[in-house]
Amino acid sequence: MPKKPPKALQIASPNRLARLKAGEHDSLAWWMTEYFRHEVTTQESSQKEQRRDLKTFLSYLRREVKHDHVDAWTPRLTSAFKTALQSAIEGDGSRHWSDRSINRMLAHLKTFAKWVHKYRPFALGNPAEKIKAIPTGSLLVVERALTTTERRKLLDAADLLPKVGGLSKDRNRYSNVDEKPRRKGYRPYRNRALIYTLIETGMRRAAACKINLVNVHFDTRDIEVEEKGSATQAYKISREGLQAITDYLKQEREFDAKLFDSPALFLPAATVINSEGRLAPRMINDIWNEVSAAAGVEGKTPHSARHAMGKYLVEKTGNIAAVQRQLGHKNAAYSLQYARVTSEELGEVLDERE
């Protein structure tokens, strides 16, 4: 197997560190510019949203204190900003900001404040550290996660793909399963490995398309892949998941590799001659939906496997840092969501008292 290459480190330039640590700049507008220049790595659409949210806060700060000095941002001012957002009313009497929008702004503020505080400590401490999100009645991420039963059904259905996946459905011509021909271009071992990879790592669907074979490390059982914002994330994978990938490499990949000169782990079938050598996210959706239908699992997406991984790690370790490390969350607030209890689980706990 290929050796694990040394991981590239994102090291700030000496000039940048000197400039930030010197604390010579006290304008929050300057710090926001530096934040996006050196720290933010998300996609352009996400950066645009973050800029808008931070500018909304800076506008509020300037209205309140007439300047944007770093030490003007205090915990009480953050709390006042949250209250102002909740109180903003449109001309027709409706709220200007929804709870979801406010929570998004607060999450962006938390990340920004933590970064600034690292280089230029606030006089009264991190001003957004203790601010709480607004409870919402929306479906929790833990309620969108695969259940233990659904995970078992999906993996069982994936294990059956080499036997029944892609076979002809013509019952009149082929009454015996062993006689049914398989659809040309169908790749049961690849599809099985994909399902295992999503469920046993928690990576996003788009990341699964970007996995390169050289970055699957069989000795340490982890997979390095480019995630959102072009950041490299190392996902641990279970032995079963790694075995499914090994089976695919032994059974199928070499046939498609003859056509595609691609570093991708998961290759399109050689029959897809117009492909660039990588699966598209839509193809992963199709594979997921096929296996879900066979498993009798409804209403769950590939992202449900990510939620399930977060929930599983919290239940097994009780450590939010484990979730943050596996799923690559920069903001721990996202990892904290998996520590919440679903309404079904709460009901079961209460029923135990009867």
Where do the structural domains in the chain lie, given as residue ranges? 14-119, 147-297
Q: Confirm if 311 and 145 have CB atoms less than 8 A apart.
A: yes
Residue 211 tokens, joined: 């996995």
In 185-332, beta strands by DSSP E: 216-217, 222-226, 232-236
pTM above 0.85, yes or no: no
Give the end-to-end CA distance of the chain in Å, rounded to a whole number: 56
- At 228 the pLDDT is 78
CA 246-314-341 angle, to 5 degrees, is 125
> Rounded mean pLDDT of 36-57?
91
pLDDT in tens, 249-282: 999 999 999 888 899 999 999 888 788 899 999 9
Which residues does 221 contact at the CB level (< 8 Å), separation at least 6?
A: 236, 237, 238, 239, 242
Three-state SS at 264: strand
- Taking 90 as the threshold, does the pLDDT of residue 353 lie above it? no
Q: Is 151 left (phi over 0), alpha (psi -120 to 50) or beta?
A: alpha
What is the gyration radius of the CA atoms in the chain, in angstroms?
A: 25
pLDDT at 133 over 90: no
Spatial CA neighbour of 54 closest among 121, 117, 118, 104: 104
Average pLDDT over residues 113-118: 94
- Smallest Cα–Cα separation from 272: which of 187, 342, 200? 187
**Cα dist from 106 to 57, 103, 184, 338, whole Å:** 10, 5, 51, 19
Please report which confidence band the pLDDT of residue 1 belongs to, taking 50, 70 and 90 as the band edges. very low
Predicted confidence (pLDDT) at residue 174 exceeds the cutoff of 80: no
Q: Is the distance from CB of 342 to CB of 314 less than 8 angstroms?
A: no
- CATH code of the domain made up of 147-297: 1.10.443.10
Residue 168 has pLDDT above 70, yes or no: no
CA 102 vs CA 52, 97, 129, 285, 343: distances in Å: 12, 6, 16, 31, 24
Q: Binning pLDDT at 50, 70 and 90, where does residue 6 land?
A: very low
Q: Indicate the residue type of 106.
A: L
Q: Under a CB-based contact definition with an 8 Å cutoff, are residues 133 and 331 in contact?
A: no
Task: Give the pLDDT of residue 198.
Answer: 97
Tell me: the pLDDT tens digits for 180-238?
777 888 999 999 999 999 999 999 999 999 999 999 999 999 999 998 777 899 999 99
